Amino acid sequence: MPTVHVNLADRSYDVIVERGILSHAAKEILGAGLKGKCAVISDQNVASLYAPALLENLGRHCIDATLHVIPAGEASKSLAAANDLCQELATQGHDRKSFVIALGGGVVGDLAGFVASIFYRGIPFVQIPTTIVSLVDSSVGGKTGVNLVAGKNLVGSFHQPRLVLVDPETLSSLAQREYRQGMAEVIKHAAIRDAEMLHEIAAINPQSRYLSDVLIARNIAIKARVVEVDEQETLGVRALLNFGHTIGHGIEASVDYGQLLHGEAISLGMRAALFLSEKYASLPHEASLLLTQIQMKFDLPMVLDQSISTESIMKKILRDKKFSAGKIQFILLAQLGNAIVSSSVNLTDMEEAIEWIRQPLPINCESGYNGKG
């Protein structure tokens, strides 16, 4: 089974990728030194599918588990939900010797990780991600948090998981749109660090929903290597993971919840970042087209709707916590597989890029890329 080790001194951990691991998770959890009482936090969609097998396996290995189910969706990523969970954990007898298991997608992982980081001033937690976005991205790296009315992820902590268990079989239950948005993050990781992987992604049949364990592990390893050198995003290296996210977040924040999923907005943000990469990082136009074709192959949105105004996107971008220091650190591609942090991009450039992605795609993108050549 492919295992990615995340090397962070005394906060190091393994990400184990194995089909069916959900039903024998206890062995790995005990192997990571966790035992006793645990709180499994999941959501209404995921709990009914996967919690019974997990709880049965934990029980058989004398891990005393309580189940805590939150409503599915971004609204659960709130201080109120974190407060309710802490209360529940306390009333159900959890204490500093307990640990948390996050079973679900990004919302569950971020919230459960945050709860683990504050309950009794911090208890260990295990991530069991069940969506593509969460398994290649949010479950690894220790970012936890909740949203405020003022913005997403404005309250949180760095709290690394003790173990991440990835069961690729959970991907078969994903809705088509969830699969599609997840592929945007898979493509993003390859785009910033591994051009060869982009060709492999392009050769995947999007209808199959199949991602090999090895490809998943390699994609996770891209994130792991970045986190190892810049755990708390202070050196400008972890920021590379934000390729497509500056304008993407602005777009996501400008629409009603659900109109564009995170990965869909990031896909539009990547197209804008490609435009700026050609302008400021000498990215060859053919490389830009190739990435665009791969995004299109997975049916990701590439053309920004006229109803979303540039003014509103720019307002959200300027409110983004990434701009708190007043400086724009924009992630560009110098080549496929080589992302850089640039300070050349100004606000007018971003407005131009937002206008650019309203344009229909060039004809030679429409044919779709099949991974050959």
Chain positions contacting ligand GLY, by CB under 6 A:
137, 141, 143, 238, 241
Q: Which residue number, 137 or 264, has a Cβ lying nearer to ligand GLY?
A: 137
| 331 DSSP β-pair partners | 341
SS3 content of the chain, % helix, strand, coil (to 5): 50, 15, 30
**Residue 94 or 143 with smaller CB distance to ligand GLY:** 143
Is the CB of 63 or the CB of 227 nearer to ligand GLY?
227
The distance of closest approach from Cβ of residue 299 to ligand GLY in the complex, given in angstroms and rounded to an integer, is 22
Contact in structure between 43 and 71 (CB atoms under 8 Å) = yes
Minimum CB separation of residue 143 from ligand GLY in Å reads: 5
Of the pair 136, 296, the CB lying nearest ligand GLY is at: 136
Least CB distance to ligand GLY at residue 241 (A) = 4
Give the contacts of 219 (CB within 8 A, at least 6 positions apart).
136, 186, 189, 190, 197
Nearer to ligand GLY, 145 or 168 (CB): 145
Least CB distance from residue 263 to ligand GLY, whole Å? 12
Residue 42 has, within 13 A of its CA and on its CB side, a CA count of 22
User: Rounded to an integer, what distance in angstroms lies between the CA atom of residue 199 and that of residue 182?
Assistant: 17
The residue whose Cβ lies closest to ligand GLY is 241
Is the Cβ of residue 213 or residue 230 nearer to ligand GLY in the bound state? 230
Smallest gap from Cβ 183 to ligand GLY, in A, equals: 15
Asked if 174 and 182 count as a contact pair (C-beta separation under 8 A), the reply is yes
Nearer Cβ to ligand GLY (53/237): 237
Pairing of strands 64-70, 99-104: unpaired
150-154 LR contacts (CB < 8 Å, sep 24+): 150/319, 151/253, 151/319, 151/320, 151/321, 152/77, 152/249, 152/253, 153/110, 153/321, 154/321
Instruction: Confirm if 306 and 243 have CB atoms less than 8 A apart.
Output: no
Q: State whether the Cα torsion 273-217-200-295 is positive or negative.
A: negative
To ligand GLY, the closest distance from the beta carbon of 226 in angstroms equals 8
Q: How far is the CB of 242 from ligand GLY (least distance, A)?
A: 6
